[in-house]
Structure formats: structure tokens, C-alpha cells
Chain A
């Protein structure tokens, strides 16, 4: 089995993976990072979204091998070391942008990238950006509000 090394939530990790192992499987099943969720098998729901080199990626569509040499951040790596929530995480709490919490890690990762790239994004832009992330609980209303609040503060 090929070995890969990556930087995961700021720490260096090496792992032997099968060629067909998906990044989400490596994270959830081998490394115990179960914050990244699996909500579908057709790359449609975005529950599995993580950052690879700072960009949102659906980890169910990427092979673990492809992460070799890259920097991966999951929901577990977003808050500060002392537990302080990131601005997007805090905004989701403040604006009730989550109910059952299942879509939340993917939503937060995706929104974090948006806020970083396009601070001050409009409601329309936020809704378009979240195209790849499904939520069945919130009707998106409060998610959009949360992302808007974080974006207006101009911080990811």
C-alpha cells in the first residue's frame, strides 16, 4: 500500500492507504475525524466538505492519494487551539444556522472559503456559493444570515 504524508489540521500525518481509499474514508475511518460527514453517494450534498490547500473540496470525490503533500483542514481544525470558535462557526451559533448539525461541518467549511475570498458577499452570492451544500433542516435562511454576518465582518 502506498504511503502518503499530508498536513492535517496543522499536524503532519503519514498513512498507508489503498489506491481506492477516498479522502473522506481516510479521515473518518482511519484517522477518527468523524466531524466530516457522508450524506450521499453522488457528490451532491457537500456534507463531506473539507479544505485542501484552503479551498473547499468534497472529500468523497477525492482519493486519499491525491492529498499526498497537501494541506488538509477539517471541521476539527477550524477553531483556535484554546477552543475559540472561528468567526464563521461563531456566526452559525449566533444566528442559529444549524439544527441537527449533520450538514453543518460541510456548510461551515464551504462558507469559510467564501468569506475569505469574497468578504461582503451579497445574499444572492452566498446562496449561489452554497449550491453544493444541502441542508434539510434550516431552509438556509439562518445559514445565509450567519454567512452574511461573518462576511460583513470581513473575516473567515
Chain B
């Protein structure tokens, strides 16, 4: 193992600039002559626009222009598309209302964009936006999914009957019904997967620029996937040719899914810049972010598990109402379907599974992928009902899981819900987590806590998830409108240093470090000799970007392919220099050596020869630069076990997480420090979901009640414990690195472990997230009465 290669906890290349205030986030950029944009947003959840009066605002100091939905319609631009087509059970395509960047007819959620004001300064734009008078005719709103599907509910989009976007299913219904018919025991559960606001710490921001002389357009934006944004702008929203459009996503302050999507504001600043012939900048306020960043989760689910008398799972049935919000955000249709129901086998051999998901429009902010996207919803319902089943059958919680695990010898394992798992060892991660959390010694700690007047509980989850999205052909067959391969270009410079151009984007994931380690290892060159470039469509080749824990599994695999090509060409050059047959030259530790001799050329010598080809193989092109794309063969399947220990104060209902252990199988690890950090962050978001966070709407007015950091409880340092984190690797069998992905495991595995612990502590069957003090206290009181 190289000192700075795969498996080493290298310190990060990114850190120096971030620690000294030298990062460059979009809001840090200012363009000469730039104007500022501010949006006029709907204060109503559902209302018809009668008139938009801009006279007063136009007279305000500094105002340059005001654009409305009517201007958008006149230009025939700005309809944000959905990126995934789902078909209903009956074969009909989902209802797909376009999402106009500025609406002209009716507003459909609080925060919907009605107009944009462009002014000389940010404050002038914001002030003038307050002067735009919009006359609304208020309409009754459908706020929750339950309201939206009730007979006679107000329609968010006229064409979506009963507010239904699609009514989809997966699995073998007849086989599942048969399994239930012969079950010794059926357990049912109704649960809610609470709606969350991603809240990356950096608010979204964008600058559009138009060069009149060349016709070139540039967009700086807070994006996880600048190429995807360029494609959508070119092909759908702005209709400009891609070669005249550059999208730059510089340092980005966290994404967690929320910065995947093509948002109205991105389009609008670019459109306005082209109209006005000057740069237009916009930065979200946090308050607006709550009303305009895509939210996550929001499922209402009924789930049933059929078991035999020994606790073997025979069948699983799920019925879910999934909230899409007011419009379809790009990935939204895929989240509760192919990213969710396909994971319902979990770690278990359940032979029959049937899932029905109805996606519903409501008068709320659009809902889309948020860390885990569909898979946390699957692990939560599964790991909850398994606990309930254990309780009702009187089987130990660990034992019931073990009895149903897919065994290591069963891989590749075909689940009844489309996926084929390639590898895993669920027993091993379970054992390790039980050991590290001292599961066996828990009752002593419970008794000790009881003596202090505290209710202590412990819970676990054993989960599997699907990452590394995804084989393009599979995605296409399931309705995806893109390919999900990834690109890498490795440019070796004449002196043997390397620049990597990757299509993935790092916004906290540490790619600049881990990808450099990967190349250092493969080429045998120092880590410091590798630079990673990402986030600029003018620099890296088209690719799909970062989400679904795909950057290493898919993007890293593309890097390996490109490096392999470099080595192959280098071998030709070295063989020529060494006057040996190509087949006799091997590449190891940064040297091309004639097998069985000490005759060798270093990587640097070969690189130099490629650029100064005075003595060079006939017919070989000079230069040393190779590109590759990697289209994955399958998803990857990280899995693991999370154990949570909580203490509940019976007087106040306050839940404190006093211990958290995560043992995850994320495949081969490039940088253990980075992997642990990713797990910490994911678990923190899982604890946030389970105990603290909820995007709560007033179900009459459709106002977002938890619409700022005052009402929405983002986890703070004192809310969280230190974590015990470990890994146990089984290698992915179908990518060249054996890696699986780590970005989302923390958020997928943790929420059920936490709620299982809370239920254990207070002795109730189920409690919905977030387990706030009030909810816990009420549950305790109800239990006492009963």
C-alpha cells in the first residue's frame, strides 16, 4: 500500500482554502456591471393571480427591470421539466404538469415565484420586490396527502384527477396475497415518514452572464451537477445551444440532494442576463430557502408483514401516499418508486413483496431527493415493522433479524423487487455493531438509568441500500430520461504530474483528496502531484454529477478506466525506450520495468517522452491524456447495522441519544477518515429526522410553520453524542475498485434504530418521527392510562 494511496487517512487538499477563508462559493463571486435579482413569492398556498401591478416597484430606486410570468410565457421559455417518467398500474403515464419558473395563472405553494425584480443592488431589488402588488383570489388548499386524496379536494393541477400524479406498483401481488393467506401471524403498522428541509448551510445562489459580442452565456450556480443543469437549460428551459453555455459550480456549501435540481432561479438569472445584457446575481435568504429548496421524504404508509410461527418473513405489503408537492421536481417521480420499493427486501429473504405507491400533488414546496432519497423511507418502514413483529411474536429483536438474513453464500441474491444484490455480510456487521455497542451489557445500563429516574432504551436496525446509480439501460427501462454513467479525463503533464477532470462534484465529499489518492496509488506518483478539477462544464467533459452516493462507485470507476488507458499507452512508450516487447513490460510502483530485469523507465520519463517524442514508437500519437466513461453494471449495495441508545426523561419527554454505533459495509475504503466523516454527517441527519426536524405546514392555510431555524430544529452540537463508527468491507463485485458508496448510509440506517430505541425505552409499539418531547410525553401518558 502506498503511503498516500488507497486506504490511507490522508489529510484533505480542500482544507487549506476553507480554513483560511479562501474558498470561493457562488455568493463570493461578483461580476463587473452586475445587477441583482429578488423574487416576488406567493404568500398563499393556492390562489389565482388576478393582476400583477409593477408600476410602483418600477419607480423604486435602482430598479432595472421587472419580469413576470407573462413575460416568460411570451418568450416561450422557462418550463422546468421532470427527469423521470413513471407509469401507473394501468399503464398510463404520470400526470406531468410543467413547472413554470415564474407563474402567470395560479400560485400553488407559499413561496411560488410570481415575478423577479432586477435592480442595481441587492437591497434595492429586495425592497422593490416588496412593492410589486399581486392581486390574488385565494383558493382552498390541499396541504397534506390525506387531504389531497379526499373526495372533493381542491385540485392543485386541473389535469391531475384526485391530485394523483401516478398510482404505481411493484412486485407480485398474487404471490404476496398467497403468502399472507398462509401466514401464522400478520403484523401491521401505520407510519409517517416526516417531511424534511435539507438545509445545506450555504443558501442557493446564482449569477447569469451574457456576452453580447460572442453570444456566450455563463451561469455560476450552487449545483451538485453543473452538466445536468446545462443540459436542462439547453434542451428545455432556455433553449440555447450547449456549446454557447457554460455552467460553473465552484465551491458549494453542502447539497444533500437539494442542489441536484434545476431550479427556477437558475433559469431566471440567465434569462434576465440575456435580456438585459448584464450579469444578474441572486442569493437566497434562509427564509426563502425554506420555501423554495426542494423538501424531502413526506410519506404516509401502511405496511404489513406476514410471518410463519418461527418468525420467518413470508411476505411484505406496503401502501404509500407520497407527497410530490406542488410541481414535479426533476428526480421526484423516481424517489418513492424505484429508489424506494426496490429496497423493501432489505437484508432479508422475504420471498414475496408488493408495494403500491400513489404520488400526490399538494399545495406545498416540491419534494425531491434528500440524502438517501426513498431508501430511508424503505429502511424505516421495514426496520420498524420487524421490531414490532419481534415484540408481538415474543422473539428477540436480534434473533428475528438473524433468522431472516440473506446469507453470504446466497450472493448474488435476486430479490422479489427487481434488484440483484452482489455482495454483503449482514451477520458480520450486526455482530460487530452489537460488540461495539455492548448490546449484551445493556440491561445493566437500563437499571442504572432507572435508579436515576431515566428510561433507557436500545434499538437497532440492519439495513441495505442501493447506491452508485446506475446502469443507463436499467434507468432507461424504468423511465429515467438520462443515462447515469460518469466521465473522467486524466491529463498527464510533460513532467509527470496529473490533472484529473471529473464530471462528479464535491461539495463536502472530499473528492479532491480521495480521487487524488486513487490516482497516486494507480500511477505510483505522489499525492501532491495530482490535482482534481470539477464543477465547470468548460473544463470537464459531460457527465452526470454527484448524488446517490455515486461519485466513487461510478466516477471513481471511470478514473480507473482512464488510468488504465494511460498505463497501456505508457507501456508502449516504455517498451520502445527499453527496446523490449510490450508484453514484457510491467508497470508497478510508478515504474515500467522489463520483467525479470532491473531495466526500467519511471512514469515521469515516459510522460516526458510522450510530449518530446524524438525517440518514439512508430504510429503512436504523442501526448499522454486519456478519457473514459463508466456505465455501471449494477447498483452497489452498502449495508450495515446501527445501534442507538437513548435516555428519556419521563417528566418532560425529552430524548437524549446517549450512544450511537454504526458499523457499515461500504465496500473498499479509500480514505477511512473521510468515510467516518460521511457516516457522522449522515447519522446526524438521521437523528435530526428521528428526534428534531419536521417541515410542518398549517393544514388549512398551507403556511410553513417551521419556516426558519427558529422553528425548524436543525441538530446542534449539544443535541448529538459522539459516535462509534466502524466498517466491515465486502468488496463490490462489479466495479474495478470494489467500492459501494458511503454518502447516504448514515441517514438511511439510523432513523429506525433511534425510534426502535425510543419505543424500547418507553414501552410503546410505535411513535411517529420526530419523537419530540411532547409526542413522547403524550405517549408515556397514554401508556400509563392503558
Binding site for B on A (CB under 8 A): 28, 33-42, 44-45, 47, 74-76, 78-79, 85, 89, 92-94, 96, 98-105, 108, 123, 126-128, 130-131, 133-145
Contact = CB atoms under 8 A, between A and B. Distances in A.
A69 to B, nearest CB: 24
Nearest to A106: B201
B15 A98 contact: yes
B718 A131 contact: yes
Contacts of A75: 19-21
B19 A93 contact: yes
Nearest to A102: B253
Interface residues of B, number: 55
A138 B680 contact: yes
B28 interface: yes
Nearest to B718: A127
B515 to A, nearest CB: 16
B286 A144 contact: no
Given A93-B16, A100-B251, A141-B720, 14 more contacts: A37-B201, A41-B286, A45-B201, A74-B21, A100-B508, A101-B15, A102-B25, A102-B202, A131-B717, A134-B716, A138-B681, A139-B680, A139-B682, A139-B746
Interface string B6-20: 000001101111111
Contacts of A134: 201, 709, 714, 716
Interface in B183-223: 199-203
Interface in B13-40: 14-25, 27-28
Interface in B313-359: none
B673 interface: yes
A53 B154 CA distance: 57
Contacts of B697: none
B102 to A, nearest CB: 23
A42 B710 contact: yes
B22 A141 contact: no
Contacts of B680: 138-142
A135 B253 CA distance: 10
B149 interface: no
Given A33-B21, A99-B510, A101-B251, A142 B677 contact: yes
Contact of A128 (B17, B685, B718): B718
B709 A42 contact: yes
Nearest to A90: B19
Contacts of A102: 23, 25, 200-202, 253-254
A136 B19 contact: no
Contacts of B20: 35, 75-76, 78-79, 85, 89
21 contacts: A28-B28, A35-B21, A35-B22, A37-B253, A40-B709, A41-B286, A85-B19, A93-B12, A98-B19, A99-B509, A99-B677, A100-B202, A105-B21, A127-B718, A130-B716, A133-B717, A137-B254, A138-B681, A139-B680, A139-B720, A143-B717
A111 to B, nearest CB: 11
A98 B11 CA distance: 11
B723 interface: yes
A138 B200 CA distance: 12
Contacts of B723: 139, 141
A139 B692 CA distance: 14
B654 interface: no
A151 B507 CA distance: 29
B717 A140 contact: yes
A144 B717 contact: yes
A75 B16 CA distance: 12
A104 B21 CA distance: 9
Name, among B202, B673, B676, the residue most crowded by chain A CB atoms within 10 Å (CB to CB).
Answer: B202
B253 A100 contact: yes
A145 B481 CA distance: 44
A131 B222 CA distance: 27
Contacts of B251: 100-101
Nearest to B253: A102
A137 B678 CA distance: 8
A136 B199 contact: yes
Contacts of A42: 286-287, 708-710
B709 A45 contact: yes
Contact of B677 (A36, A41, A89, A96): A96
Contact of A99 (B254, B286, B714): B254
